Amino acid sequence: MQVGLVLGSGLGVVAERIAVRERISFRQAELPESTVPGHQGCFLRGRLGGAEVVAMCGRVHLYEGHSARDVTAGIRWMQGQGVERVILTNAAGSLNPQMKPGTWMMLGDHLNLTATSPLEGGPEFVDLSEVYDAAWRRRAGELAASAGVTLAEGVYAGLRGPQYETPAEVRMLRTLGADAVGMSTVLEAIQARALGMRVAAFSCLTNWAAGMPGAKLDHGEVMATGRAAAEPMARVLEALAGG
């Protein structure tokens, strides 16, 4: 059984651990191409640890002018390749004082604040009571603890972007119960669940969100923090893909 991986900003170190047999560009797969620095725009097919994987290196976003269907085309492509389980990753801003930049958060739930859905256009009433697979989350927690990796669990708020949030918006998100905020992942998770795929998702907390003490928002620093934090987590994701 193949496992899908979606690798976000600065997380290419995970791709470096894959024994690659085939590289397929987004263009070859007839998918929209990303314009965001740090997003390679290709699929890698090979082995990661003991698992057969299809890794999506980079993604496209709503803020690039794409539709929700475009944003989730990679999930549908992987499902068409036989992927039944998918691990999503992203870079996110922390809203929780207990979750410091440079650490990771496992998604237990999300808030879709993008005002759209990949399921628009028909009565596709998908049950999202458990978007992120509970058994997979428990396994990830065990693997992270064994590896000495700090892995919190929380709620991710997905917004459209591309601008970062204002301090007032951050206060709103915290009131709504969000622990981290970013511009991806939620639509991919919805699409994957609609296709019957098991989903796990992880945010690399690269910065404090606006208005939080010490907040400084710069895309270059987001990617640099993501790269530094990715190495220890890569081992956890490798083991999770294999189990």
Active-site entry in 15, 55, 78, 91: 91
- Give the separation between CA 38 and CA 58, rounded to whole angstroms: 7
* Residue 39 is among the residues annotated as catalytic for this protein: yes
Active-site entry in 90, 96, 112, 184: 184
Active-site entry in 15, 34, 39, 92: 39
Spell out a b/e string for 185-202, using b for 16 or more CB atoms within 10 Å of the CB, else e.
bbbbbbbbbbbebebbbb
* Residue 25 is among the residues annotated as catalytic for this protein: no
Active-site entry in 66, 67, 172, 219: 219
* Residue 61 is among the residues annotated as catalytic for this protein: yes
* Residue 9 is among the residues annotated as catalytic for this protein: yes
- Give the separation between CA 132 and CA 149, rounded to whole angstroms: 20
In sequence order, what are the beta bridge partners of 56?
A: 6, 43
Residue in 105, 101, 76 with CA at minimum distance from that of residue 90? 105
Active-site entry in 29, 52, 63, 66: 63
- Give the separation between CA 166 and CA 179, rounded to whole angstroms: 16
| Cβ(7)–Cβ(48) below 8 Å | no
In sequence order, what are the beta bridge partners of 84?
A: none
- Report phi then psi at 37, rounded to 5: -55, 140
Active-site entry in 34, 55, 56, 61: 61
- Give the separation between CA 204 and CA 185, rounded to whole angstroms: 12
Active-site entry in 9, 94, 112, 117: 9
* Residue 184 is among the residues annotated as catalytic for this protein: yes
Active-site entry in 96, 200, 207, 233: 207
Joined together, the tokens standing for residue 72 give 């989730």
- Give the separation between CA 55 and CA 40, rounded to whole angstroms: 11
- Give the separation between CA 227 and CA 214, rounded to whole angstroms: 20
* Residue 64 is among the residues annotated as catalytic for this protein: yes
Active-site entry in 29, 52, 64, 142: 64
Residues classed as catalytic: 9, 39, 61, 63-64, 91, 183-184, 207, 219
